[in-house]
Structure 1
Amino acid sequence: MNLKEVQSLITSVAKFGASELKLDFDDTKITIKAKRYNTNNIKVLAPNSDVGVSNFKVPMKVEAAKDIKLSEISEEINNLNQVVIRSPFIGTFSLESSVEKSKKLEVGDFVERGDFLCAIEALKLMNQVNSDASGNIKEILVKDKTPVEFGQPLFIISI
């Protein structure tokens, strides 16, 4: 078997999509293995030139566009009109202020930017949490006198 015949075998294996070809002659053994690649996730990028992407033939998966529901859009718009107040410390959440122990925030209360919302007790120190925005308290997410983590949502304010 000469070099041209071996090249012809290699071309045939590639052309017909075979992954492996084994030949046994009198005193000659030939094994040709073709490596197959997963082409489903290949992205083809063409530079700004005359070479078009249409010149490349790569099988691709085309996913159907997701159906967008009107309720999801209105929910997203509603979320834009809200501010989430998060805990700046690890500690114990308290709705009472040290000054006005009788006044506690409730859902529906109006707060101005900078108003006292709650206190977080950490290492026997009371740390005030003030409002970042003016609006109505839509939801109080933590029960009074419970532990909170850093970054945990405490209030949702509708602006």
Structure 2
Amino acid sequence: MGKRGASPAPPAGGSDDRLIELTRRLAAVAAELGLSEIEVESAGTRLRVQRAGAAPAPVTHMVAAPAMSAAGPAIEQGMVADVAAPTAITVEAPMVGTFYRASAPTADPFVREGDVVKEGQILCIIEAMKLMNEIESKAAGRILKVLVENGQPVEYGQPLFLLEPPR
């Protein structure tokens, strides 16, 4: 992840074309610097570009401001853009560790995509230093997307789930 200062500033407006151009520029900077991942955040928009094969996680997440809703095209071979619903709540990893969807390898996952969850409901476990930490939902809603594969290492602040809040 390294050189955060090397990323270009996000566009001031909410134009999809400008976001696509920014994503292309970030991909170019990441490739030029040999980075596996680069992330910028400004004015409520977070854009993360990650090379395919760097980790089994989704390659790019844009948690967009309400005016934005369309995904951009493929950026470069092995790089993809994906936009979350404008009202989606992102549940992020509160620590570095290993992500587990269930309490045991043969157990059912705590939640699946489409499940309705309550605030405080256990969504997953993150193992850190041989301690199993239950990660609870910070809000009620429906699981739109599970963003991490079972057994995958996660970083602090990494998006784990997208929740659709109740209407």
TM-score of the aligned structures, taking structure 2 as reference length: 0.48
- Larger helix fraction of residues: 1
Which is higher, the Rg of structure 1 or of structure 2?
Answer: 1
